[in-house]
Amino acid sequence: MNKKVDILIIGAGPAGVVSAVTARKYYPAKSIMVMKDIADGVIPCGIPYMFASLSNPEENKLGMASLEKNNIEVVIDTAVSINRKDKTVDSASKTQYSYEKLVLAIGSTPLILPIKGVDKQGVYPINKEMGYLKNVIEQIKRCKNVLVIGGGFIGVEFADELSKLKGINVTLVEMLPCLMANSFDPEFSQMAELRLKEKGVNVLTNNRVEEIIGQDKVEKVRFSDGKEMPIEGVILGVGSKPNVKLAVDAGLELGSCKGILTDEYMRTSVDSDIFAIGDCACKRDFYTRKSISVMLASTATAEARIAGANLYQIKVIRENKGTIAIYSTYIDGLVLGSAGLTEKTAREESFEIIVCSIDGVDKHPASLPGAHKGKIKLIFSKQSGIILGGQVSCGMSCAQMINIIGIAIQKRMSATELETLQVATHPYLTSAPTMYPIILAAQDVYGKI
């Protein structure tokens, strides 16, 4: 069977969906098809919250309503090969799809660490499929002792969420000295660790799992420090690797981060009719231009909008200038956000920097109910005064503060521009206009030059 379509998008995660909807806005006359290889996908960022916060795991289902609304065809099938010369894709159902433009939004696969016993029952990678995850939830809730491997934001969010389940002892292990060390400097990582410990999570840093022990099922684990611990369930929260086999087999080029290499318009390096977006695509840092491994929905959907707009005509205002790796996380009322370079990364890359840290409160006056003390840290270039990165901690309002910092980084704003920032404020919603943390941190630059 042969199907002909103008725009074929392989993958129906956030990147695939957003690229399809964007393409419909820019190219309304084109036929668009999205191919998904599983019937019921999930919202990736919501996976940890399927265990306790959501009343029903089905509430985290990734719906296709936006595609149907935009007259975009959805087919459940699996792509097995791409013929770039003939511009066709062969699938597992023996269907051949002909395309004018092809978008690869084929995502990533959970990393499986080379740990002895990692293949035993009770060890769960985080696959983005509803049926699989519902089974994992059911099995984990039967456990008394659960181990989360990996102290990045995925592992931290899982540990926080699992601590809400009654009768379960939760341990989080991270091989580095600090949690979320790739995104935060130590003073922010320590806040996350302290909050988890207050929730009753046993946090082990500078440690790793050497062996998962048991007959067929997990019974206990042995750590690198030689200690053993009874464990019935293990969550692998150590990240993912790009899905690239389909691309490699088609002769597409990979970047040093092992993702598919693209230009600033998300076109693959050897075929301008094939685009790659999301977890499967290589990322470049906004300032250093080095390849980096960043897998965030915010980055994926930004790339998707660029690709969807540039399929047939280059929209110069829509280009990928590099990722600022912006994200926020939530740990039992503590919100942490990060964007751009950390102090540690900036110094490792030999940037000459000025670091400004300000303590503040997210409401005014500070005596208002629900007010939280917080911290903001901004990294500036010493010579130009341009912002390079920022980190925040506080209550809910700082989730939007990190977005302000993200905009400032993308626009390469200077400390002077941030000092004169005009912001909307309200006692219940923000810090005081007289003490707005971003502005105070920007003003602090000039005392350090």
Report which DSSP code applies to 266: S
3-state helix, strand, coil in the chain (%, to 5): 25, 30, 45
Structural domain includes residue 329: no
Q: In 3D, which of 387, 442, 435 has the Cα closest to residue 418?
A: 442
Which pLDDT band, with edges at 50, 70 and 90, does 399 fall under? confident
Give the model's pLDDT for residue 293.
83
**Are residues 344 and 185 in contact, defined by beta-carbon separation less than 8 angstroms?**
yes
Give the separation between CA 267 and CA 209, rounded to whole angstroms: 40
The reply to whether 225 and 131 lie within a common domain is yes
Which pLDDT band, with edges at 50, 70 and 90, does 316 fall under? low
Reported as a single tens digit per residue, the pLDDT across 333-387 is 899 999 999 999 999 999 999 999 999 998 899 889 988 899 999 999 999 999 9
Give the model's pLDDT for residue 276.
98
Q: In 3D, which of 13, 5, 68, 60 has the Cα closest to residue 36?
A: 13
CATH number of the domain to which 354 belongs: 3.30.390.30
The reply to whether 133 and 232 lie within a common domain is yes
- The domain of 85 spans 2-108+241-309
Give the model's pLDDT for residue 317.
63
Which pLDDT band, with edges at 50, 70 and 90, does 250 fall under? very high
Tokens representing residue 312 in the block: 């047939």
**Average pLDDT of the segment spanning 192-211:** 97
Reported as a single tens digit per residue, the pLDDT across 19-66 is 999 999 999 999 999 999 999 999 999 999 999 999 999 999 999 999
Reported as a single tens digit per residue, the pLDDT across 92-115 is 999 999 999 999 999 999 999 999
The reply to whether 129 and 233 lie within a common domain is yes
Which of 212, 238, 264 lies at the terminal end of a domain, its last residue? 238
